[in-house]
Amino acid sequence: MGLPRTCPEHNKRNPYLSTNNPRKPIVQRSTHHVERSIDPDTLDFEKGGGLVPAVVQDARTGRVLMLGYMNRAALERTLATGRVTFFSRSRQTLWTKGETSGHVLTVEE
Protein backbone atom coordinates (compact mmCIF):
# COMPACT_ATOMS: atom_id res chain seq x y z
CA MET A 1 0.00 0.00 0.00
CA GLY A 2 2.81 2.47 0.82
CA LEU A 3 2.71 5.85 2.46
CA PRO A 4 0.04 8.37 1.45
CA ARG A 5 1.26 11.25 -0.69
CA THR A 6 -0.60 13.75 1.48
CA CYS A 7 -1.00 14.04 5.23
CA PRO A 8 -4.76 13.68 5.91
CA GLU A 9 -4.51 15.72 9.11
CA HIS A 10 -2.88 18.76 7.51
CA ASN A 11 -3.91 18.17 3.87
CA LYS A 12 -0.28 18.67 2.88
CA ARG A 13 2.14 16.59 0.86
CA ASN A 14 3.79 13.79 2.85
CA PRO A 15 7.31 15.11 3.69
CA TYR A 16 8.78 11.61 3.59
CA LEU A 17 8.07 11.05 -0.08
CA SER A 18 9.79 12.59 -3.08
CA THR A 19 7.89 13.01 -6.34
CA ASN A 20 10.89 11.57 -8.19
CA ASN A 21 11.62 8.65 -5.87
CA PRO A 22 8.93 7.51 -3.40
CA ARG A 23 11.53 5.80 -1.20
CA LYS A 24 13.91 8.76 -0.89
CA PRO A 25 13.08 11.04 2.06
CA ILE A 26 12.99 14.79 1.62
CA VAL A 27 14.85 16.83 4.22
CA GLN A 28 12.52 19.41 5.70
CA ARG A 29 12.82 21.58 8.74
CA SER A 30 10.07 20.81 11.19
CA THR A 31 9.38 21.10 14.86
CA HIS A 32 7.30 18.72 16.93
CA HIS A 33 6.54 19.38 20.55
CA VAL A 34 6.69 16.57 23.08
CA GLU A 35 5.26 16.64 26.57
CA ARG A 36 7.53 16.62 29.61
CA SER A 37 6.23 14.20 32.23
CA ILE A 38 9.15 12.13 33.54
CA ASP A 39 11.32 12.10 36.64
CA PRO A 40 14.80 10.64 35.92
CA ASP A 41 14.99 9.23 39.45
CA THR A 42 12.03 6.93 38.77
CA LEU A 43 13.81 5.10 35.93
CA ASP A 44 16.11 2.08 36.28
CA PHE A 45 18.86 2.91 33.78
CA GLU A 46 21.03 -0.01 34.90
CA LYS A 47 18.41 -2.59 33.97
CA GLY A 48 18.95 -1.80 30.28
CA GLY A 49 22.72 -1.45 30.39
CA GLY A 50 22.51 2.24 31.23
CA LEU A 51 19.83 2.99 28.62
CA VAL A 52 16.06 3.28 28.58
CA PRO A 53 13.87 3.32 25.47
CA ALA A 54 12.32 6.73 24.80
CA VAL A 55 9.16 6.93 22.72
CA VAL A 56 8.55 10.46 21.47
CA GLN A 57 4.94 11.41 20.75
CA ASP A 58 3.34 14.52 19.32
CA ALA A 59 1.86 16.35 22.34
CA ARG A 60 -1.24 17.41 20.39
CA THR A 61 -2.14 14.24 18.50
CA GLY A 62 -0.40 11.50 20.48
CA ARG A 63 1.14 10.21 17.25
CA VAL A 64 4.41 8.33 17.79
CA LEU A 65 7.22 10.28 16.13
CA MET A 66 10.19 8.05 16.90
CA LEU A 67 11.86 5.62 19.27
CA GLY A 68 15.33 6.31 20.57
CA TYR A 69 17.42 5.44 23.60
CA MET A 70 18.45 7.72 26.44
CA ASN A 71 20.98 7.39 29.19
CA ARG A 72 20.66 9.55 32.30
CA ALA A 73 22.77 12.33 30.74
CA ALA A 74 20.58 12.44 27.61
CA LEU A 75 17.39 12.66 29.67
CA GLU A 76 18.84 15.33 31.94
CA ARG A 77 20.02 17.38 28.93
CA THR A 78 16.59 17.01 27.33
CA LEU A 79 14.86 18.29 30.45
CA ALA A 80 17.39 21.12 30.92
CA THR A 81 17.43 22.40 27.33
CA GLY A 82 13.95 21.56 26.09
CA ARG A 83 15.40 19.83 23.02
CA VAL A 84 15.18 16.04 22.79
CA THR A 85 18.59 14.41 23.15
CA PHE A 86 19.25 10.71 22.68
CA PHE A 87 22.21 8.42 23.23
CA SER A 88 23.56 6.98 19.97
CA ARG A 89 24.34 3.32 20.54
CA SER A 90 26.39 3.11 17.34
CA ARG A 91 28.50 6.23 18.01
CA GLN A 92 28.42 5.93 21.82
CA THR A 93 27.67 9.63 22.22
CA LEU A 94 24.80 12.01 22.89
CA TRP A 95 23.00 13.55 19.92
CA THR A 96 20.26 16.14 19.87
CA LYS A 97 17.52 15.42 17.37
CA GLY A 98 17.56 18.00 14.58
CA GLU A 99 21.17 19.20 14.88
CA THR A 100 21.91 18.20 11.29
CA SER A 101 18.53 17.33 9.77
CA GLY A 102 16.52 20.27 11.04
CA HIS A 103 13.82 17.89 12.32
CA VAL A 104 13.82 19.33 15.83
CA LEU A 105 11.93 17.79 18.73
CA THR A 106 11.18 20.18 21.58
CA VAL A 107 9.79 19.43 25.02
CA GLU A 108 6.39 20.86 25.84
CA GLU A 109 5.30 21.51 29.41
pLDDT, tens digit, for every residue of 47-104?
Answer: 999 999 999 988 888 899 999 999 999 999 998 999 999 999 999 999 999 999 988 8
pLDDT for 36 equals 53
Q: What is the pLDDT of residue 60?
A: 87
CA-to-CA distance for 33 and 108, rounded, in angstroms? 5
Is residue 100 domain-resident?
yes
Residue 62, domain extent: 28-108
Q: What is the CATH number of the domain that holds 91?
A: 3.10.20.810
**Residue 5, pLDDT above cutoff 50:** no
Domain count of the chain?
1
- 65 occurs within a structural domain: yes
Does 66 map to a domain?
yes
Condensed to tens digits (0 to 9), the pLDDT of residues 8-58 reads: 555 555 444 444 444 444 444 455 554 456 788 888 999 999 999 999 988
Say if 5 falls within a structural domain. no
Helices (H) and strands (E) in the chain, counts: 1, 8
Q: How far is CA 28 from CA 60, 66, 69, 96, in A?
A: 20, 16, 23, 16
Could you tell me if residue 81 is inside a domain? yes
**38 part of a folded domain:** yes
- Does 74 reside within a domain? yes
16 in any annotated domain: no
